[in-house]
Structure formats: structure tokens, C-alpha cells
Amino acid sequence: MERYQIILAYDGTGFVGSQRQAKSRTVQGELEKALRALGWDGRTVYLAGRTDSGVHASGQVAAFDFDWQHSLADLRNAINANLPVDMAVRQALHAAEKFNPRFDATCRRYRYRLFCQNVRDPLRERYAWRVWPPVADLQPLAKIWPGTHDFAAFGSPPRSGGSSQRTVFSAEWQRQADEWSFEIQADAFLYHMVRRLVFAQVTVGQGRLPAEALAQVLQNRPAAPSRGASREIRSVPPGLAPANGLTLVEVRYDNPV
């Protein structure tokens, strides 16, 4: 019996999320079904993190124990032969005996895509948020997030009473024509954190919130009112960027497994 690590990609459109649920189609459920077709009799597959319903992944990490007598390439190919078409194992690796893809992770990277267009675009909207009115330059807003902060205004801890402090290593907006891409790397993320960050930045980009409000709310103090405003801004507008624009791109580990 040996522990294996796999890098998993999936189109999240047809899943209610990554974590196994009794009566719903999930990433974990489909992966475990594919492994059982190969003779796996384990109790659970471990994932690096949960993704919400509709969220995609190109670099989700999973681990499981399996008595496999063939090569890593054969393992990858055998699992893929039993997975649905909206999932694929990109790579299979040997892992340390106690490797846990969630608790051993030191960095996670997400990408969020959006485009500014006033007419529906079915080919793009499966994987990106269509935004209208258009946004102004979003690139300066990315400089707000790096560092260790309390992100309570932008998400909730996975466990009740848990810390909402997270360390963001890098954040960047890139633009190409009418498309914007936001990449952010952190030690971990709060529930809905990336989607709330994107929604807040789009709100600023559309001129509905002053840019300084984001930094001041992040620092847990009220933002100074903009000219003509009658009250302080104590929180960002509630809202979530749609799940379809979000992709888990990479999970990193300090020590090779």
C-alpha cells in the first residue's frame, strides 16, 4: 500500500462542489468512483481544498492510499479512463506516507477571469464573468492585498470561530482587450474570499465605491466618506462574483513529496 498524489483538473459547471455529498454530483465523488473501478477500497480521497459549485480547477491536488502495481503513467491513464469527460488527472506522483494535500499546503493560487461586454457571449461566459458597465483600470487595486491582514470583511473561516487572518503573497490584474484576469496567491483563503475580493474591486472599477475604501475596510477601520457622502463606509458592498469565473490554478508545498 502506498500513498499517491494526483494533480486534477475539472470543469466545475456540472458539479455542486468538490466535496463528496450523498445525493449530488461532486468532484470527490466522481474521483472515488473512478478509483473503485480500479479496485481501490479506501474510505476517502483527500483534497487540497474545497471548491464551490461551479468553480473550476486546473491544479487541484488529491491524495489516496492504493495498492497499485504499475507505473505512475498507467495510474494516471487508468483513472482518466474511468472519469467523466469534465474531469482529468494531469499528473500522478508518489507521496510521503503521511502527506496531506490540505494541511501540508503552503500556498494556493487562484485565477478569476472577467470580460466587459454589454451583449451575452455564450462561448466565454462558461468560464468568465460578463461585466457591464465596463470597469476602469483595476491594476492599482491589486496592490492593496499582499501582506498579512484580517480578511473578515471578505469571507468567513471554514470553521466557526476560526481565524480570518490570511497572508497574501501576491496579487495582480492583467488585461487583454476587453478581458481582465486576477491572480492571487496566499497561504490559505477564507470561504468565498476570492469572489468577494473580485466583486469589491469591480465595484470600485465601475465607480460605485472609492478605491480607498477597500484598504481602509481591510485595516478594520471605517473609510473616510467621499465628497458629498453623508456617512462613513464601514464595509464593502455585499456581493459575490459568479463562481464560473474562478479557477484553482495551483497548490504548492514546501517539501517535495
**C-alpha cell of 127?**
468560464
How many angstroms separate the CA atoms of 230 and 88, rounded? Answer: 53
Q: What is the DSSP secondary structure assignment for residue 70, as one 8-state letter?
A: S
Pick from 190, 194, 228: nearest CA to 210: 228
- Whether the CB-CB separation of 31 and 62 falls below 8 Å is answered with yes
Closest listed residue to residue 192, CA positions, set 226, 222, 158: 158
For 88, 90, 147, 153, 170, the CA distances from 202, given in Å and listed in that order, are 32, 33, 21, 16, 19
Q: Measure the CA angle with vertex 222, ends 220 and 223; round to 5°.
A: 115
Distances (CA, A) of 139 to 61, 143, 205, 238: 30, 8, 10, 22
Dist CA 108 CA 253 (whole Å): 9
* Residues identified as active-site: 52
CB 127 within 8 A of CB 242: no
DSSP H or E run through 36: helix 27-36
